[in-house]
Every structure is written in C-alpha cells, then in structure tokens.
Amino acid sequence: MESGPANVRMDYVFIGDGYTAAQIGKWRTDAKKVIDGFLADPLFAANRASINVRRVDVASNQSGVDEPDQGVFRDTAMDGNFNCFNIDRLLCVDEGKVREFVGSVLPLISATSSLSFPTRRAMAAPAVGSPPCR
C-alpha cells in the first residue's frame, strides 16, 4: 500500500525470515494477515493517508528460525532466533541483515517489522532501530 513518496510519508516494511523459496506464498499470506491487523488499529487507520506499507520477500535456505534453548539451529536469511534476552518467546533477527535486505529495495525506511516462519508462537519481534538482540 503506497500513499505517497517515502520522503513525506511514514514507511513500514514487513520482511519475512525462515520462509524457503517454496514457502514464499505462505509468507505473503501471513504478511497480509499481519498487515491487515496493523492497518485495522485505530491509530494507523486514522493516519492511513500518511503511511506506506511494503512487504519484502526474502527466501531462507531452511524453514523456521533458531531455537537455541532446544538445540535447533537453522540457516535463515536474517538469522532469526527465539529465546532472545533469555525470554522464551522473544524473537530477534540480525538487524544488519534486515537493513541490508530492506535497503536494497527501499533506500529510505522509517520502521520495519520481521515475521518468521512459525515454529512456535512469538510474543514480539523487535523493529529496526531497537537495540541489538544478540
């Protein structure tokens, strides 16, 4: 959804991690659900004319994300991992990789959110601009 040029709008970018090339269709469906919920929030709905929402499709080599507390490690595009800051359901990604992928598509970004292929229910995925999670 684009409402105008990035230099005069707030851009939100949703990027997936842990979806393989064969799962990109699922990523697009999952992202649409999250984006629809995001835009249904009254604050965002009231400001919709000032917001651009974009989706970036990135394929990972393996499905899912790291679960270090269970000894599970996967090769994903943005190194997504649960148990961030020793919080079981907190999901973090490598912010440098997120910026690299998003920056290759969109040079100016205001905020991003990453979604990872669900191996368990996550309670949060920090956006770019938040402190590093490693």
Its pTM stands at: 0.74
| Cβ neighbours around 122 below 10 Å, total | 19
Query: Where is average pLDDT lowest: 18-22, 64-68, 111-115?
Result: 111-115
41 inside domain:
yes
Q: Does residue 102 belong to any structural domain of this protein?
A: yes
- Report the alpha-carbon distance of residue 13 to residue 104 in Å, rounded: 12
Cα 120 to chain center, whole Å? 16
CATH of the domain at 102: 3.40.390.10
- For 40-73, b where at least 16 C-beta lie within 10 A, e where not — what string? eeeebeeeeeebbbbbbebebeebbbbbeeeeee
d(CA 116, CA 94): 12
Q: What is the pLDDT of residues 79-94, one digit of tens each?
A: 988 888 888 888 888 8
DSSP β-bridge partners for residue 111:
12
Strand partners, 89: none
Cα distance between residue 24 and residue 16, in whole Å:
9
Say whether pLDDT at 61 is over 90: yes
Please provide residue 117's backbone torsions phi and psi, each rounded to the nearest 5 degrees: -55, 125
Has residue 110 been placed in a domain? yes
Give the count of domains, the chain: 1
Please write the tens of the pLDDT for every residue from 108-121: 554 445 555 555 55
pLDDT of residue 133: 36
Residue 132 has pLDDT above 70, yes or no: no
What's the CA gap between 72 and 21, in Å, rounded? Answer: 21
2: tokens are 């684009």
Measured CA angle at 77 (ends 84, 102), to 5 deg: 95
Note down the domain range covering 19: 9-116
In a domain, 13, yes or no: yes
